[in-house]
Amino acid sequence: MKPKETESLDATRHSLAHLLAMAVRELYPGAQNAIGPAVENGFYQDFDFSNAHITPLHSPLGRGEKARGVQISDADLPAIEKKMRELLPQWKEWTKKEVTLAQVKKEFAWNAYKMELAKEFAKERKTLTFYVCGGFVDLCKGGHTLPLAEIDPKSFKLDRLAGAYWRGDEKNKMLTRIYGLAFATKKELDKYLTMREEAERRDHRKLGQQLDLFTLSEQVGKGLPLFTPKGALLRELLNAYSQELREKKGWQKVWTPHITKSELYKTSGHWDKFGGELFLVKSQETKDELVMKPMNCPHHQQIYASRPRSYRDLPLKYMETTTVYRDEKAGELLGLSRVRCITQDDSHTFCRPNQIEQIYQELIDVTKTFYKSIGMQIRARLSLRDQKRPDKYLGEPKLWEEAQRILLKIAKESGLDYFVAEGEAAFYGPKIDFMAVDALGREWQLATPQLDFVQPKRFGLTYTDETGKEQTPVMIHFALMGSIERFLSVYIEHTAGAFPLWLSPVQATVIPISDKFASYGAKVKDALVKENIRVEMSDANETLGKRIRAAELMKIPYILVVGEKEEKNGTVNVRRYRGGQPSSAQAAAGEDGEIKLGQLTEKIRKEITEKQYEI
């Protein structure tokens, strides 16, 4: 039977995972292939090499190695990739065959992983199928490209190795995962590889060390970053701007403790949904079971509940920048992208249903202003619930339908560039996720206003309406950056560490060409300090070229060189950081070169005040 042909890239990637399995099994007889799906940008295949040996042609000794158990490394990938290309011309047609469990056992008795899956599928009364291509047989549910032999053999390559527990369970055996990349054409593959090289250059972990922004310490613990003075200043500048924008719209600061009784999260529903991610704290004195807070919303609801509320009080707008704590798996922690201490520029609004659109419009305006100021384009994702999985969500279906209708109306009337994503809602309500696009074209979910009809009802929150009747308020959750740590991981990579002037921890550095001009350099520095410009001055222990290069490596926006001519004329020689080299057009426009000190301070102050984005 000929399976249904598909031209999708995912189908090609899936087929290549099978081809990889065949190549490995020919080179390493006895290797057991487990699963091999298509993934973003390519595919992977998991292998158990504990019973494998090396074929004579692949053996470094020119003969088969009979000792069982092989360990491969990245150095072996080119040979495996070469074998895949040798086999590729044979992969012309897939044949599908429905089989019994007995037939699977006969074919795959040597493969414990295929047998485990087959037995599980048979128990669930699922159809067992073999797919055959190029003489290779595999247990698979299908979804392949026909014919694979016609793809460009240079449009894929093996990428790297990783360890992976069988079925993602740490109690199971660690397998060897081989990742491959695959695209429609070699040109697209090359483009991706170039982009990835650039992403590695922009890696926020490397830049965080280079620019002295943050560090990680094994003694402190995984997922618990420490911010240096420069990194802490960067956080504070971003948070101050975030709060400033919301304060102008009426949000007020509150403060809540970092621990709480576990009952609070049982009431909110977080305990049942995320209990495994909570850090528990035991009181030695009272023996109370406490929790390191994983989110702020239940705390802010308790402030709301602290006194009777009238419709005249609404909307009530609270905001708090604070750290919450979640016990993320150690294997998922990564720099600032995934941490255990998450600082949120959080806010919660309690309002009447007829105020929802007004609040959302204010939050949309805040979001647009903030992301324009930092030079990131955004679009909106309407994150709705999965209609097929109602058990994932709290609240009445009728309320969900109303909430989703309101968000769709807001998105249309606000002129948002939006798309709909079912299944991405929070467990208590739908939301608008603002997706920011970075310099490499990658999309990140950052700001998110979330509509919540559920939690206020669970906590019994009320207000008295015009008729004296009690009503339940609507709650709108919002974080402009989301997690400041994760936001910084994205933003450092977006800017490659070259922050806009208003955000740069050091905005200018003064470089006298020799000690003879240090006093004039100090005068220039003092003039900038008086204007609240963050400035440093380098000493003359190194050559002028080395000091300029050091400032460029730190990506300082204004490099100010002073010498005899500048001292005589009351000027500075300006070099703007733009990847280290000013363009002739920029120089012609007067953005680089000699300028009066007073004009320079005025120019810098204006750029900071207007939060111009220029890198």
**Which one from 48, 159, 346, 592 is the annotated catalytic residue?**
346
Q: Beta 508-512 vs 558-562: how paired, if at all?
A: parallel
User: Where are any strands of DSSP class E within 269-314?
Assistant: 280-282, 289-292
Please say if 90 is a catalytic residue: no
Cα(148)–Cα(16) distance, rounded to whole angstroms? 8
**Which one from 13, 297, 317, 385 is the annotated catalytic residue?**
297
Query: Look-up: residue for tokens 């979001």?
Result: 367
Please say if 477 is a catalytic residue: yes
Please say if 53 is a catalytic residue: no
Longest dimension (CA), the chain: 94
Distances (CA, A) of 265 to 183, 259, 513: 46, 11, 62
Angle subtended at Cα 455 by Cα 454 and Cα 458, rounded to the nearest 5 degrees:
95
DSSP 190-210: HHHHHHHHHHHHT-HHHHHHH
**Which one from 25, 83, 204, 348 is the annotated catalytic residue?**
348
Please say if 144 is a catalytic residue: no
Structure tokens at 336: 């600032």
Structure tokens at 338: 């995934």
Q: CA nearest 453: which of 409, 408, 411, 394?
A: 394
Cα(505)–Cα(488) distance, rounded to whole angstroms? 14
Which residue type, as a one-letter code, is found at position 390? P
Cα(240)–Cα(235) distance, rounded to whole angstroms? 9
**Which one from 53, 246, 326, 486 is the annotated catalytic residue?**
326
Please say if 348 is a catalytic residue: yes
**Which one from 202, 431, 486, 534 is the annotated catalytic residue?**
431
**Which one from 477, 486, 525, 555 is the annotated catalytic residue?**
477
- What contacts 513, CB < 8 A, 6 or more positions away? 540, 544, 561, 562, 563
- What contacts 598, CB < 8 A, 6 or more positions away? none
Cα(370)–Cα(483) distance, rounded to whole angstroms? 15
Please say if 344 is a catalytic residue: yes
Any idea which residues carry the catalytic annotation? 297, 326, 344, 346, 348, 431, 477
